[in-house]
Amino acid sequence: MHLISPPARTAGQPSGRAGLVHTCSVTADDLPARPDAGLERALVARWTEIVGAAAPARQAGAALVHRWSEPERCYHDLVHLAAVLDHVDELVRAEPGTASDADAVVLAAYFHDAVYDPTTPDNEARSAALAGNGLEELGLPPLRIREVVRLVLLTATHAPDPDDGNGAVLCDADLAVLAAEPAAYAAYAAAVRAEHAHVPEPQFRTGRARVLTELLAHEVLYRTRTGRTWWEAAARRNVGAELLLLNASTADRAGVASADPPLGAG
């Protein structure tokens, strides 16, 4: 069952944000509003499918999910978490065996932006530390804990090795938003900007353009066969279109220093 299920959404279609609520404290007409508690309950229930429903596990899951409701989150919120989980499930079903430990991939999705401060560059490292400590307290097997920590750290680069099926599934799910319908992609881009409201506009545009240029330089954006089939072409169109807008706006701003904000794509 999808955690996010717009009526027209089919397998492989990136989960959009239109009509869904976000948890951002920044008011913007083009950003959707906050999800109801039902999504939080669904996310905790999905968590207990893997770690168990005992009180400590459920409490840990509730605390982890609650992190995704912090007021500074405009894109990296409950809706994003639910979308990544949906896409992980879709990729696992479409390519059985690609992920050697699908449960570890799901757990890594829960933790991958659990620590999120848009003013610092070490969110992935802090999220990975949170995952290692939290899962150890719950008594999960050390091998799985190490794999979850590794996967969370991997989301800093979205560059899994060719034989890293777990990493390919997680990274593709995290970047699926790049292939969203144009309106949903615009909402994503607006939410990313709102999260970085502390960065002056010229510096933001310079930093964001750098991130998008680096993305387009990759031979492929998606590392699974299914991800490339479903999302590669649309993602390149969306990213290219946003980059054109950014470059057009910054063409007359030569000499403006970049604050180099941490503007990760996912």
Q: What is the pLDDT of residue 256?
A: 45
Q: What is the pLDDT of residue 11?
A: 59
CB contact at 8 A, 230 and 12: yes
CB contact at 8 A, 127 and 115: yes
pTM more than 0.75: yes
CATH homologous superfamily of domain 37-250? 3'5'-cyclic nucleotide phosphodiesterase, catalytic domain (1.10.1300.10)
Residues of the chain with pLDDT under 70: 1-13, 15-36, 250-264
CB contact at 8 A, 169 and 99: yes
Q: What is the pLDDT of residue 248?
A: 86
Q: What is the pLDDT of residue 262?
A: 58
The domain ranges of the chain are 37-250
State how far the Cα of 208 lies from the Cα of 265, in Å rounded to an integer: 9
The rounded Cα 161 to chain-centroid distance in angstroms is 19
The rounded Cα 44 to chain-centroid distance in angstroms is 18
Ranges of H-type helices in the chain: 37-51, 55-67, 78-94, 102-111, 123-137, 142-154, 165-175, 182-195, 201-217, 225-250
Alpha carbon distances (Å) from 110 to 62, 80, 194: 11, 10, 22
Q: What's the chain's Rg over C-alpha atoms?
A: 18
CB contact at 8 A, 82 and 3: yes
CB contact at 8 A, 91 and 172: yes
Per-residue pLDDT reduced to its tens digit, 25-53: 544 444 444 556 799 999 999 999 999 99
